[in-house]
């Protein structure tokens, strides 16, 4: 199979909703579970009279922590979709004797958070890395910090995360940066970050590599 045919098939993979369905379906189901957890927590606070944070009871604390874990896991699932997309595009460039930097690709044809000028893809990827690696970071997120950690820390701080906040507070900061609301519509988050990005990338690649004719 020649490079042009392989390139075409890879671009079609970016466009094919059926190829994306298994992972996107899991992400959507997880988002609905997360939304339910946030609703349950909100209902608990309403029953308590919506007290300030220091007066939350133990069930309210546990429910909020659970929502934070669910949000973090959702971003990790979205990161898997990002990684798949990056791998496909890298393969296309390699087939055509070219390369593209990961950070460049993750800002290519993606929507930007107007406040930080960060791409939705970079924000979601950073949120996933925060969730996975936060226990490896030094207290207060400063001191003996590795270069890769510094990049992620700078990114998540830019969208409103801090070491003083709870996990759920921090994850909701990333949601807000992408959706424009504190809770957002979580079931649409994956499409905002990855789905629309893949569509725009596919169109760019068809033009860039002379694949303008659909089979």
The whole-angstrom distance between residue 144's C-alpha and the CA centroid of its chain comes to: 27
Residue carrying structure tokens 């979580």: 186
Q: Is the dihedral of CA 102, 75, 182, 66 positive or negative?
A: negative
Residue carrying structure tokens 């007290």: 51
Tens digits of residue pLDDT in 19-37: 778 888 899 999 999 999 9
Q: Is the dihedral of CA 36, 28, 80, 170 positive or negative?
A: negative
CB 95, CB 159: distance < 8 Å: no
Contacts 24+ apart (CB under 8 A), 63-66: 63/37, 64/166, 64/168, 65/166, 65/167, 65/168, 66/37, 66/41
Burial pattern 74-86, b for ≥16 Cβ within 10 A else e, equals bbbbbbebbebbb
Can you read off the two tokens belonging to residue 165?
């906040």
Tens digits of residue pLDDT in 131-160: 999 999 988 998 888 888 899 999 999 999
Separation in Å, CA 195 to CA 9, 20, 48, 82, 199: 18, 9, 39, 10, 7
- Whole-prediction pTM value? 0.91
pLDDT, average across residues 45-50? 94
At residue 184, does pLDDT exceed 70?
no
pLDDT of 180: 80
């Amino acid at each position: 199979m020649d490079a042009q045919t392989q390139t075409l098939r890879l671009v079609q993979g970016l466009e094919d909703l059926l190829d994306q369905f298994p992972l996107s379906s899991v992400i959507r189901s997880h988002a609905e579970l997360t939304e339910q957890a946030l609703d349950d927590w909100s209902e608990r606070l309403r029953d308590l009279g919506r007290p300030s944070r220091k007066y939350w009871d133990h069930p309210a604390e546990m429910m909020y922590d659970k929502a934070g874990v669910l949000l973090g896991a959702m971003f990790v699932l979205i990161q898997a979709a990002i990684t798949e997309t990056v791998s496909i595009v890298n393969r296309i460039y390699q087939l055509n004797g070219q390369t593209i930097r990961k950070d460049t690709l993750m800002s290519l044809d993606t929507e930007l958070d107007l406040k930080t000028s960060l791409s939705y893809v970079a924000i979601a990827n950073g949120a996933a890395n925060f969730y996975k690696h936060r226990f490896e970071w030094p207290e207060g997120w400063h001191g003996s910090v590795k270069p890769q950690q510094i990049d992620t820390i700078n990114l998540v701080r830019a969208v409103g995360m801090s070491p003083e906040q709870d996990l759920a507070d921090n994850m909701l900061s990333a949601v807000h940066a992408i959706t424009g609301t504190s809770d957002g519509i979580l079931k649409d988050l994956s499409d905002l970050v990855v789905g629309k990005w893949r569509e725009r990338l596919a169109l760019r690649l068809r033009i860039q590599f002379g694949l303008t004719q659909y089979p």
